[in-house]
Structure 1
Amino acid sequence: MPRISSLVLTLFLICIFSCQKKEETNATKAVLYPNQDAPLALLMREMFLDMEEIKLSVENKEALKSYLEKHKDILSAIPTNPKVKTEQFQLMGNAYLESLTTLENSSEDLLIDNYQAVVNTCLGCHQQYCPGPIQKINKLIKE
């Protein structure tokens, strides 16, 4: 009988510790993406990945793919907080799209400068609206 009690206690403790581990994992995920799955947040994550690809193309002096059509959704995607969609946000979104257009149409000698301009428009907007990703965006800066 003591063996059964010991076994039950052991199983009970395993269940408790495994549940705690699972809760920590979920908490970590929530912190990783505080804006969850709002369309604008999802688009911004894709835009970052696109910018990493653009950075590589600029560094390798390769032809750039066009991301303009995809990134135009920045003006219409639903944000986590609807109050974000102000007139200033629209102006900054349009400035980003203009700088992206300029980059995509750049001559080779202006490619790096125009790439930096795109990254700077990202930083400018995030300084106003959502500062969380700034550290990540800084990784896009061409050294």
Structure 2
Amino acid sequence: MLKNCLVIFLLVGIVFSCKQKEQEKTTPVLYPNQDAPLALLMREMYLDMEEMKMSLEKKEDIKSYLEKHKAILTAKATDPKVKDAKFDQMAIGYLESLRQMDLGPYELKESKYKIIYSYCLACHEKYCPGPIKKITNLQID
């Protein structure tokens, strides 16, 4: 009787252990670079671009994100080699496009948004292609 209970206990333990390992394998990694300040900033920038797009579609005022997004120049990347001179040029171009978004008549804001979007896409094509599919959701036709 004691042997039977021990065998049953071991079998239940093995089955539970296998199921737990199976669940660990199927859990997707949503943000592999979640601790890098640049990765965190990029996620915020995406949300801000979504907000800009929605404001344009509704013909509402667009708030300024320039000060917040300036951190792109100083935020630490997951891989420090990413932050080279070309990255900085793209980041500066992006920030200048944001500055331009704050200027001029509302009628030009959609074309300015498209320039900002193109900087996002170009930089991710060069440095971090993973989010490109998500970034394309920000496109305005």
Do the structures match in fold with TM over 0.5? Answer: yes
Q: Where does the alignment leave 5 or more consecutive residues of structure 2 unmatched?
A: none
* 8 A contact 1:38–1:78 mirrored in 2: yes
Q: List structure 1 runs of 4+ shifted beyond 4 angstroms.
A: none
The one-letter code sitting in structure 2 at the alignment partner of 1:79 is A
Residues 52-98 of structure 1 show CA distances to partners (whole Å, capped at 9, x for unaligned) of 11110111111111111110000010111111111111111010001
66-75 vs 104-113, greater mean Cα deviation: 104-113
- 1:36 maps to which residue? 34
- 2:83 maps to which residue? 85
Identity %: 48
Task: State the distance in 2 between where 1:8 and 1:106 align.
Answer: 73
When normalised by structure 1's length, the TM-score is 0.87
The one of 15, 23, 36 aligned to 2:17: 15
The one-letter code sitting in structure 2 at the alignment partner of 1:100 is L
1:106 Cα offset (Å): 4.1
Superposition RMSD in Å: 1.7
- 2:26 maps to which residue? 24
Residues 108-127 of structure 1 show CA distances to partners (whole Å, capped at 9, x for unaligned) of 21121111111001111112
State the aligned residue count. 139
Task: State the distance in 1 between where 2:75 and 2:130 align.
Answer: 19
Q: Where does the alignment leave 5 or more consecutive residues of structure 1 unmatched?
A: none
Task: State the distance in 2 between where 1:98 and 1:87 align.
Answer: 16
Task: State the distance in 1 between where 2:104 and 2:11 align.
Answer: 68
